[in-house]
Chain A
Amino acid sequence: MTRERTRLVIGVVVTAVYLLPVYWMLNTSLKEQAEVFARPPALVPVPPTLAAYQSAVFGDPDIARGLVNTFVIATGTTVLTLVVAVPAAFALARLRVRWVTPALLLFLAVQMIPAVNLALPMFVLFGRVGLVNTYAGLIVANCSLSIPLAITIMRPYFLSVPGEVLEAARVDGCTTFGAFVRVALPVSIPGLITMAVVSFLGAWGEFVFGLALATGDELQPVSVVIAKLTNAYGTRWNELMAVSAVVAVPVIVLFVLLQRYIVAGLTDGATKG
């Protein structure tokens, strides 16, 4: 019993120290500019103020536009990933398709390729077909990584649908597509949620494609806008932290709500052979 209590104390301390950077971000974002320069720094913002959020997030058209862009890109990526990956995963799980094993290996290998390796040739190739500096180009680039991951996550769910059930649906007059929509999809909802969230989060935080493929200001995701403004912020750390917090909040909310799906997706997607 005492041992359990010791572990609890150590656990709390370790978790608190580990998440100190996250706390420090929120703490700083709620401070006045003058408080940022306090030595030693205040451990809690007194009084807390939303001034930095006002000036840096809502009062800054670049950041506001960046957030909108990020949202559009992440949503587009999620939708396109669902549209492509769900049928593909079903086909790879249930239909007799050749090259299943090599395809799965390829998808797993894609996750090991550095994003820079794709971003550089994409910049040249997309330039030829007019995709540089378009939402479509950024979404396609993000999908190049999210779709293989999504298929890897999704396929086991379709595999777990018993073949007899699908057979029965077909005997009852369903087409293959009908069996897919009416039988396989409903039982795979946890998988769908996982892959949608993982795709969204991946695109939400994405940086390299945005940096390479959004050459103009208008379409840059917020991650790139922050990087560009880093020098402009100088010592306005409270504003930089406010922007960072706004980028982090949707991730934190999704994570709290859908924690088990995300952890399962991120660990399985990377390790399932």
Chain B
Amino acid sequence: MLFVAVTVVYPLIYSVLQAFQDVGLREVIRGGAEWVGFANFADQFGRAEFWQALWLSLVYTIGTVALTYVGGLALAMLFVHRFAGRNVMRALLMLAWILPTVVGANVWRWLLDGSYGLLNATLRGLGLIAGDVFWLGQPGPALVSVIVATAWSFAPFAMILLVAALQGVPATLYEAARIDGATTWQQFRHVTLPALRPVSITVMLLIFIFAFKTFDTIYLMTRGGPGGATLTLPLYAFQEAFEFRRYDTAAVATTVMLFVPLVLSVFYFRSLRNEEAA
């Protein structure tokens, strides 16, 4: 308890307080800073870069949640059935989730390389592109690329949670639907999805929180570039602090970042409780 209080709670409070002070490099070294009220917030909220970072964070996060959930559910629908080697394959997929992000990010950079990457080689082989496409060198494709790389590592995690939930759907429900003449798609739409609802909400909230705080994958793949196209809020805060030495405005950004998971955590705990009650 004490350890957590010292290493987590104290830095967090300290950081929030910094947001209300005038803190540059000089103040960090010498200590002591002037209280400036909400001036830092006013400064940040008046800056286009800040809103751009917040917006990119939301696009990145929602994109990652959608792709992870759809991918995870597809994997779960396949791997919930019994067949030879299923458990081994399920475990192998988890590798993507536990691999260090520095490994995953660099491998994806290599796969997406414009000149010699495997993706472009495949696309050229299929005749879909003619020359080199630099996926990480253009704003839109770069954002999509980091979303795909993130979802690649998150989806097996979603799969495990969703498989457990799928196993809990009573077989009699499917039987009843089949007797009523439901097609496979209708069974999925009207039996599977509603039955998975509570777990789906949990999974989406968790992935949202994970994705929103992602720093390493993006930093390693694009450094927030090109031209700030993937500069999400965590990268923005880091850049403010370690490149521009503006610790106060960085603290504003992290304080805003704190609010999003805080609000979602409340929803998350509530959904957990509902799940237990049901």
A positions within 8 Å CB-CB of B: 4-5, 7-8, 10-12, 14-15, 18-22, 24-25, 28, 36-41, 84, 88, 99, 103, 105-110, 112-125, 127-128, 140-141, 143-144, 147-148, 201, 204-205, 207-208, 211-212, 222-223, 226-227, 230, 235, 237, 240-241, 244-245, 247-248, 251-252, 255, 259, 262-263, 266-267, 270-271, 273
Contacts and interface: CB of A to CB of B under 8 A. Distances in A.
Nearest to A245: B103
Given A11-B86, A144-B7, A148-B4, A24 B118 contact: yes
B14 A113 contact: no
A160 B75 CA distance: 33
Given A4-B83, A227-B220, A266-B97, A117 B7 contact: no
B213 A15 contact: no
28 contacts: A14-B78, A18-B96, A103-B1, A105-B269, A106-B9, A109-B262, A112-B261, A114-B212, A114-B257, A114-B261, A115-B213, A124-B18, A127-B28, A141-B7, A144-B7, A148-B4, A204-B100, A205-B103, A207-B220, A212-B238, A226-B106, A235-B116, A237-B116, A251-B99, A251-B103, A262-B94, A267-B161, A273-B269
A230 to B, nearest CB: 8
A125 B11 contact: yes
B85 A114 contact: no
B102 A205 contact: yes
Interface of B: 1, 3-4, 7-12, 14-15, 18, 28-29, 31, 75, 78-79, 81-86, 89, 91-104, 106-108, 110-111, 113, 115-116, 118, 121, 124-125, 152, 156-157, 160-161, 202, 206, 209, 212-213, 215-216, 219-220, 234, 237-238, 241-242, 247, 250-251, 254, 257-258, 261-262, 264-265, 268-269, 272-273, 276
A271 B103 contact: no
A172 B261 CA distance: 49
A144 to B, nearest CB: 4
Contact residues of B: prevailing secondary structure: helix
A175 B220 CA distance: 51
A38 B257 CA distance: 44
A115 to B, nearest CB: 6
Nearest to B5: A106
Contacts of B97: 266
A120 B96 contact: no
A122 B83 CA distance: 49
A120 B11 CA distance: 9
Contacts of B258: 113-114, 117
Contacts of A226: 102, 106
Contacts of A113: 8, 12, 213, 258, 261
Contacts of B95: 19, 22, 252, 255
A83 to B, nearest CB: 10
B218 to A, nearest CB: 11
B254 A109 contact: no
A11 B85 contact: yes
Contacts of A38: 116
Contacts of B152: 18, 21
Contacts, number: 243
Given A36-B116, A141-B7, A273 B276 contact: yes
Contact of B83 (A8, A128, A247, A263): A8
B215 A115 contact: yes
Nearest to A109: B265
A120 B250 contact: yes
Given A4-B83, A40-B125, A248 B161 contact: no
A242 to B, nearest CB: 11
A222 B116 CA distance: 25
B234 A251 contact: no
Given A15-B89, A99-B1, 12 more contacts: A15-B92, A18-B96, A18-B156, A106-B9, A122-B7, A124-B14, A227-B102, A240-B106, A240-B110, A244-B102, A252-B95, A271-B272
Given A121-B18, A207-B101, A116 B238 contact: yes
A127 B4 CA distance: 19
A262 to B, nearest CB: 6
Contact of B99 (A143, A212, A248): A248
A248 B100 contact: yes
Contact of B103 (A4, A25, A107, A230): A25
Contacts of B212: 114
A24 B4 contact: no
